[in-house]
Amino acid sequence: MPKMKTKSGAAKRFKKTANGFKHKQSFTSHILTKKSPKRKRQLRGTKLIAKSDVASIKRMLAQ
């Protein structure tokens, strides 16, 4: 069997950490005028992937 290829889009979006996978928070790139400062502040930084999605992320990253 050939090796499984990594999905290049997933490789750009998710990084493996000791506790799972981290990703950039969505809803931060445009239409920011209607979002409150508190909401925009809480969208900063990275979040961990939900446990229910970890299996599909692992499959996409071929790990």
Is it the case that residue 63 has pLDDT exceeding 80?
no
Angle at 53 between CA 28 and CA 57, to 5 degrees: 85
**With bands split at pLDDT 50, 70 and 90, how would you rate the model's confidence at 62?**
confident
| Closest to 57 measured CA to CA, from 1, 26, 24, 13 | 13
Smallest CA-to-CA distance from 58 within 49, 1, 24 is with: 49
Tell me what pLDDT residue 58 has. 93
- The whole-number pLDDT of residue 61 equals 92
Measured distance between the N- and C-terminal CA atoms of the chain, rounded to whole angstroms: 16
Residue 16, beta-bridge partner list: 21
